[in-house]
Structure 1
Amino acid sequence: MAKIIAVHSFRGGTGKSNTTANLAAAIALSGKRVAVIDTDIQSPGIHVLFGLEPDRLKYTLNHYLWGNCEIASAAYDVTPTEIKQANGTMFLIPSSTEISSITRILQEGYDVRLLKNGFSDLMQTLKLDYLFIDTHPGLNEETLLCIAISNMLVVILRPDRQDFQGTAVLVDLARRLKVPNLLMVVNRILQRTDLAALKQQVESTYEVAVAGLFPNSDEMMQLASSDLFYLRHPNHPLSQEMQKVAQQVMV
C-alpha cells in the first residue's frame, strides 16, 4: 500500500510546492513510483516545476472532481531522465490553470469525498509507492481531508513570527486528527543563523521533530521554479537537507 504524505503550510509563500516536488524527486530517484497531486485548486502552480505546459493538459484534477474522467486519466508521466535511469517514476496530477475552471470551483465547490476515493484509485491504478499531496495553504475542507487521510504530514514554516503562530494552530489540528507521523521543515533560513538554537526553539515550541533546516538559496531563486533543484544541484547544502527529510519520509 502506498504511503500518503501531505505537505502543508499555514501561510502561503513558504516554498511548499518546491519542497513537495523536490522531496518527491529525491524519493523517486531511489527507484520508487511516486505521484504528486496538486490540490491547491484555487492557485495551482506545481506543474511549472515539472515543465508541464497548460496546453498539454487534456484532463486535470478539476475534470475528475466534476465527473468528466477517471483520476488516472489526469496523471501525467513527468519522470526526469535522471530518475528514469534510476528505475524510478514520477507522475503529476495537476489542477487546471484556466480562469473559468478556477472560478467554477470557487462558485460551485465540489464533493471533497471524491478526493479520498481518487487517492485510493490512483494508488492502485498507478501502483504507487508514495503519493505526495501539495495542499492549499491555510485551513479549508479539502485541506482537512488531505491531512486526515495522510500517513505523514510535513509542515513547512519560515523563521517568521507570523508563521510560528499559525503553525501552532496547524500542529494542534493535526494532533486532533490523529495524523500518525508529523515532521517539520524550516525553510528559507538566512546565513549566520544559529541552526542548533533554531532547531531547539521549533522542537520545544511544537514538540515535533524538525526533519530539515533549509538554507535560503540564491541558486533556488535563480531557477525561478523552472526545474527541480534537487536534480540540478545534488551536492548543494539545500539538497543535502532535502535528502535528510526524504530519508525520514521513507522510514
Structure 2
Amino acid sequence: MTKIISTHSYRGGTGKSNLTANLAAGLALRGHRVGIVDTDIQSPGIHTLFKVDPHAVHFTLNDYLWGRCGVAEAALDVTGGVVDETGAVVVPEGGKVFLVPSSIKTGEIARILKEKYDVEDLNTGFQELCAQLDLDYLMIDTHPGVNEETLLSIAISDTLMLILRPDIQDYQGTAVTLELARKLEVPQLLLVVNKALESFDFKDLAQRVFTSYRTPVAAVLPLSHDLIRIGSTGLVRTLHPKHAFAEGVEAILDMIEH
C-alpha cells in the first residue's frame, strides 16, 4: 500500500519544494518507487530540481484536472535527474522517481485561479497514480496556507510534514495548521525547521519548537552558502551527501520509514 506524505508550510519561501524533492530522491536511493505531485499550481517549480525542461512537457497536472489526459500520462520519470556531482545517476535498481508537474504557462495558471477545479478530481488522481505506477510513496507538494486543496491533502495523508523557519510568523501559522491536522487525525505529524542560521544551537532550537507544539521535530536544517549557491539547480542530497542538509534529510526519512 502506498504511503502518502504531504509537505506543507503556512507561508511561502520555507524551502518546502526543495525539501520535498530531496526527500523523494532519498527514498529512491533506498530502493523505493516514489511519486511527487506538484499541487502548488499557482507557483510551480519543483521540476527545476530534477532538470526537467518545461517546454518538453506534454501534459501537466492542469491538463489532468481539465480532463485532457489521465493522471499517469502527466507523470514524468525523473529518475535520471537524481545525479551526483559528476552527473552520474545514483538511484539503484528498483528505485524510481515520478513527477506530475504543474504548468508554468501564465495563461494556464490564470485559468486555474479564475475557474478553479474539482478537488475530488485531485483526490481521484492521487489514488489512480499510486495504483497505476505501483508507488511505495506518494509525496504531495502543497500550496502554502490553508485552502480546500490543502485540507484534502492533509486529510488523506499518512504523514504530514510541516516546514517552518525560525520566525514568529511561521510559528503562529504552523500552530493553525497543526490544529487542523489533529482534528483530521493525521497518523504522523512531523515538524522540520528549515533555513536556520549555522550559528544557532540546533538542539536547543529543536527542543524549544517541540516544547511549543508537542510535535516531533524530525530535523533542523541549516541555511548555508552552499545551499544558496546550489539553489534550485540540483539536489543537495546527491550532490553533497555529507552536507548537514543531506544528513538532515536522511534523519527525516528514518522517521518516515520507521
Q: Which TM-score bucket, shorter chain as reference? A: over 0.9
Counterpart of 1:162 in structure 2 is 169
Counterpart of 2:111 in structure 1 is 104
Secondary structure of residue in 2 paired with 1:85: coil
Alpha-carbon contact 1:29-1:86 (below 8 Å) kept: no
Counterpart of 2:160 in structure 1 is 153
- Displaced runs of 4 or more, over 3 A: 81-87
Q: 2:120 aligns with which of 103, 113, 138?
A: 113
Counterpart of 2:85 in structure 1 is none
Deviations 1:174-228 (Å, cap 9, x if unpaired)? Answer: 1011111100000011122122221111111111000001011211111120111
Alpha-carbon contact 1:234-1:240 (below 8 Å) kept: yes
Task: Establish whether residue 45 from structure 1 lines up as the match of residue 52 from structure 2.
Answer: no
Task: Establish whether residue 56 from structure 1 lines up as the match of residue 63 from structure 2.
Answer: no
Alpha-carbon contact 1:217-1:238 (below 8 Å) kept: no
1:86 Cα deviation (Å)?
4.6
| AA at the equivalent of 2:27 | I
Counterpart of 1:234 in structure 2 is 241
Structure 2 runs not aligned, ≥5 long = 83-87
Task: Establish whether residue 186 from structure 1 lines up as the match of residue 193 from structure 2.
Answer: yes
Counterpart of 1:67 in structure 2 is 67
Alpha-carbon contact 2:219-2:248 (below 8 Å) kept: yes
Secondary structure of residue in 1 paired with 2:143: coil
Alpha-carbon contact 1:16-1:134 (below 8 Å) kept: yes
Secondary structure of residue in 2 paired with 1:204: helix
Greater Cα offset, 236-245 or 82-91: 82-91
Separation in structure 2 between the aligned mates of residue 210 and residue 193 of structure 1, nearest angstrom: 16
Separation in structure 2 between the aligned mates of residue 83 and residue 120 of structure 1, nearest angstrom: 28
Task: Establish whether residue 127 from structure 1 lines up as the match of residue 134 from structure 2.
Answer: yes
Separation in structure 1 between the aligned mates of residue 89 and residue 252 of structure 2, nearest angstrom: 20
Secondary structure of residue in 1 paired with 2:191: strand
Separation in structure 2 between the aligned mates of residue 43 and residue 238 of structure 1, nearest angstrom: 24
1:83 Cα deviation (Å)?
4.0
Secondary structure of residue in 1 paired with 2:91: helix
| Paired residue total | 251
Greater Cα offset, 104-113 or 83-92: 83-92
Separation in structure 2 between the aligned mates of residue 126 and residue 68 of structure 1, nearest angstrom: 19
Structure 1 runs not aligned, ≥5 long = none
Secondary structure of residue in 1 paired with 2:34: strand
| AA at the equivalent of 1:192 | S
Deviations 1:25-66 (Å, cap 9, x if unpaired)? Answer: 111101110011100011111111111111111100000000
| AA at the equivalent of 2:74 | A
Please, what TM-score do these two structures have when normalized by structure 1?
Answer: 0.98
| AA at the equivalent of 1:107 | K
Q: How does 1:193-212 map to 2 (within 5 A)?
A: 193-212=200-219
Task: Establish whether residue 173 from structure 1 lines up as the match of residue 172 from structure 2.
Answer: no
Counterpart of 2:4 in structure 1 is 4
